[in-house]
Amino acid sequence: MSYESVDTLLKLLAEDVFPYTIDRKKATGRVLGTFREIITYCPIKTLRLEHFAAIAQQGSYGARTGSALQRIRKADGSLAGFLQKSDTGFIVSDYYASLSPVIDSDDGYLPRNFILTVDVVSNHGNWFTSDTPNNELKVLAQSYDWHLFLTDKGISEFLTDLLVDPIPEYAAVKAAFRKSYSAEKKGNVFMKVKMEYESDAALCSYFSKNLKRIEGWFNVSSPKGTSLKEMKRDLSVLAAKDWESVYGSL
């Protein structure tokens, strides 16, 4: 299925919303990060996992150090997982092989302080993709449990459906965006943490009705040989745990 180039759509958006700026391209470039955050957060909300997720801004360092399951680089270059057990002993095994036993464990102690980290990147305008990563992308892929790449196709369909040529059902999304970035703006109501009610309802409807197609916007960079379906399973299992019991003995 063909799609309009992101550059073309951003140009249309710039002419519509940013005619007052000297550098329209730069203005639209700044909001790409906001688009990525919304595209990432809305499926989480659609799956009713938002109460079990947090958007960390600490980058790869926070991802590597925030969880009880720690990464150790072995002599052969592979990653080992290092996790303390309730009896003060330790579990040491292949890192990615460690994830499922911790996530699926009935042991009340193992999941404690475990954080499943997910990174979503997009890199429109640069030469690398999820299939041809540069060094920075490789570092990120090794720092998170799941590393996803948001494709240009995904960004393009999001822009087309909701901001460039929306059907009436989703018009509130474009209205909130214009209100937040026009010359007469009085505040931003187009963010993952602050969204107008009508716009939020329209976004929720869009992502709910198109979730299967939207999942195709993402490529899984790591773990290798896995799919988005497996990541959703991990998140659902963690969300279903009785966390009150897990932390009850503290």
pLDDT at 213: 94
Q: Answer whether residue 110 is part of any domain.
A: no
Q: CB 222: neighbour CB atoms within 10 A?
A: 21
Range of the domain at 144: 6-66+115-246
The whole-number average pLDDT for the span 11-38 is 76
- Name the residue type at position 229: K
Whether 1 maps to a domain, the answer reads: no
pLDDT, averaged across the chain: 82
Place of tokens 């519509």: 16
* Segment 73-102, tens digit of pLDDT: 888 888 888 888 877 788 888 988 889 888
| Residues 99 and 206 both lie in one domain | no
In 3D space, the residue among 64, 36, 40, 50 whose CA is nearest the CA of residue 235 turns out to be 50
Looking at the fold, whether 209 and 130 belong to one and the same domain comes out as yes
Q: What's the rounded Cα separation, in Å, for the pair 169 and 144?
A: 36
Q: Is the pLDDT of residue 127 over 50?
A: no
Chain segment 48-76, per-residue pLDDT in tens: 888 888 777 656 666 667 788 888 888 88
What is residue 6's predicted lDDT score, i.e. its pLDDT? Answer: 80
Phi, psi of 208, rounded to the nearest 5 degrees: -65, -45
pLDDT tens for each residue of 206-230: 999 999 999 999 999 888 889 999 9
- Give the pLDDT band of residue 1 (cuts 50, 70, 90): very low
Percent of the chain with pLDDT over 90: 20
- Does the pLDDT value for residue 118 go beyond 80? yes
- Is the pLDDT at 231 greater than 90? The verdict is yes
**pLDDT value of position 204:** 92
Rounded distance, CA 185 to CA 192, Å?
Answer: 18
Question: Are 129 and 167 found together in one domain?
Answer: yes
C-alpha distances (whole Å) from 233 to each of 56, 86, 103, 218, 229 are: 21, 26, 10, 16, 6
- 150 phi, psi to nearest 5 deg: -85, 115
Summarised one tens digit per residue, pLDDT across range 162-220 is 988 899 999 999 888 888 776 766 777 777 778 888 999 999 999 999 999 999 999 99
The reply to whether 73 and 192 lie within a common domain is no
Same domain, 88 and 163: no
Contact present, 10 and 1 (Cβ < 8 Å): no
Largest CA-CA distance found in the chain, in angstroms, rounded: 64
Q: Do residues 128 and 204 both lie within one domain?
A: yes
> 159: closest CA among 43, 1, 2, 3?
3
40 occurs within a structural domain: yes
Note the pLDDT of residue 57. Answer: 60
Does the structure show a pLDDT above 60 at 128?
no
| 168 or 18: which leads in pLDDT | 168
